[in-house]
Amino acid sequence: MIGYAGTGYKGIQINAGEKTIEGDIFKAFVEAGAISKANANDPKKSSLVRCARTDKGVHAAGNLISLKLIIEDPDIVQKINQNLPDQIRVWGFERTNGGFSCYQSCDSRWYEYLIPTYSFLPPHPQSYLGEKLMEFATANNYLEEYQELQSDVKTFWKEALETYVKPVLDKLDPEMREDVLLATFKEGECADTITTLKAVSNADEVDSAPKEPSLQEDPSSKHEKSEEGPSESDKISENCRDTSSNKEIIKKDMESQTNENIKIEPTKTSFSPLEIAIKEVRSAYIAAKKQYRISRRRQDRVQEALSNYIGTHNFHNYTVRKNYSDPSAKRVIKSFDINTNPIIINDTEWLSMKVHGQSFMMHQIRKMVGMAALVVRCGTPMMRISESYGPQKISIPKAPGLGLLLERPVFATYNQRAVTELGREKIDFDKYRTEIDEFKQREIYDRIFREEEQDHQFHSFFHHIDQHKSDYFMWVTAGGITAARTGPANGIDRSLQDESEDEANANGEEG
């Protein structure tokens, strides 16, 4: 029985040349003498099997691996943990029957997902998606219902502008303000939005998240500085005019900001006034979002969305490499509930969701969360979730892996047999509840909160969806699934949609 924080690891499953949870655990077994030297070079010789396969960056308070171990030493658990980093722990062992497979014997799994409540705010009305929502609502006689669904947050963006963003813009001279706005909207519909902004002069602002100057960027997406070259304003304007260049900038920016393991450049000694201003505008919008507190009405709508998953459904749209006709795409969800008492950490309000299912396919939970969040924030009819179980293929972005946590696997059937027939102990994580809870708080929860505070992954994730100029996600609008482009979503960043090449396995299974 094990627990781990997945940050910095390419998932649990051993993969040659990659840093994985199982890889480090197996090495610790060898160092502690729990694996014989004859089997030390190949985990397969020890019949290593995992209960639930977790992806890159995903955490687990309780998971199980089954294998042959030498555990006569009474201090073997302590010795193993001494050879592991603090973010990986072995809780204990249970002897099982010879034919036991933790994957086959697992009845169900509990997962938790933590998400900032600002994730349920609607797209900024001047973002690409925000404008499309209004356009389709008007064209499909859905405007009144759409506005009613967003009534509890109808003043949020205006208040954010007045309270947080406008004070930053007011400090700038007109030329600098224009440059900041140009940079701010380089990911959106640059020309149209800039024209509007010039006309209203400080009235409305679009939410944006320009890259931190310290984040690693592709050289092609940077604005190189030169004493004799064009100004920053000229270069940003050129990016807006050059569609192909702009798409590449968006792609690189999305890759750098939504990756669970963001790489940081060496700290710059100084920033230009323009860079500082852009950073301040970005920070202002993030600060505004952090102050948002979800209403009970919006919480109820989140719960309504999650309840639509309960039962047996065809989740082919919620994973990879599965067709509608594939029988394995049908999965059972036993429950999916929110904790109605959000918590506030570092001024940000968080909502906990717990899902209990028989088994899950790769990315299924993250895509379920992504779908639910989009339905709520976009005022989408709830029937869209039911429609997603049909044969039509749609693109559902997967929510950040940062918030996903495997709570524990359940072995009810095996445990009954272990006691009544096998004379073995139950597989029971509750025996280690004190240690697990302390570990979960220190290594998982605190890590999630800390990384979001530093990297703003949820802000970046939803911002990129809102600014992505494509019709792949138009199923969220009143136009329905027919309004969305089908087929392979070429050009959409993998972090918004499907698996990374180094994450996929042959069956698309997760746990």
Annotated binding site for substrate: 111
Tell the burial category of 280 from Cβ atoms under 10 Å away from its Cβ (0-12, 13-18, 19+): middle
Tokens 């996903």, residue?
Answer: 404
Query: How far is Cα 239 from Cα 186, in angstroms, rounded to an integer?
Result: 7
Question: Which candidate, 358, 363, 368, 359, places its Cα nearest to that of 389?
Answer: 368
Query: How far is Cα 158 from Cα 161, in angstroms, rounded to an integer?
Result: 5
Q: List the catalytic residues.
A: 55
Question: Which candidate, 312, 307, 321, places its Cα nearest to that of 372?
Answer: 307
Per the annotation, binding residues are: 111
Distances (CA, A) of 329 to 323, 355, 432, 488: 7, 18, 34, 18
The partner residues of 313 in beta bridges, in order of sequence, read 331
Type of residue found at 127: S
Helix axes 232-241, 174-184, angle to 10 degrees: 40
The partner residues of 356 in beta bridges, in order of sequence, read 110, 335
Question: Which candidate, 179, 218, 184, places its Cα nearest to that of 204?
Answer: 184
Tokens 């160092």, residue?
Answer: 31
Burial per residue of 214-249, b for 16 or more beta-carbon CB atoms within 10 angstroms, e otherwise: eeebeeebebeeeeeeeebbebbbebbeeeeebeeb
Structure tokens of 121? Answer: 């705010």
Query: How far is Cα 285 from Cα 333, in angstroms, rounded to an integer?
Result: 36
The partner residues of 113 in beta bridges, in order of sequence, read 353, 404
The partner residues of 49 in beta bridges, in order of sequence, read 66
Q: How many residues does the chain have?
A: 511
Structure tokens of 332? Answer: 């059972």
3-state secondary structure 318-380: HCCCCCCCCHHHEEEEEEEEECCCCEEECCEEEEEEEEEECCCECCHHHHHHHHHHHHHHCCC
Tell the burial category of 323 from Cβ atoms under 10 Å away from its Cβ (0-12, 13-18, 19+): exposed
Say which residues have a Cβ less than 8 Å from residue 300's Cβ, sequence separation at least 6. Answer: none
Cα–Cα–Cα angle for 117, 458, 288, rounded to 5 degrees: 60
Burial per residue of 79-112, b for 16 or more beta-carbon CB atoms within 10 angstroms, e otherwise: bbbebbeebbbbbeebebeeebebbebbebbbbb
Question: Which candidate, 315, 313, 367, 310, places its Cα nearest to that of 55?
Answer: 367
What is residue 101's three-state secondary structure? coil
Structure tokens of 67? Answer: 């294998």
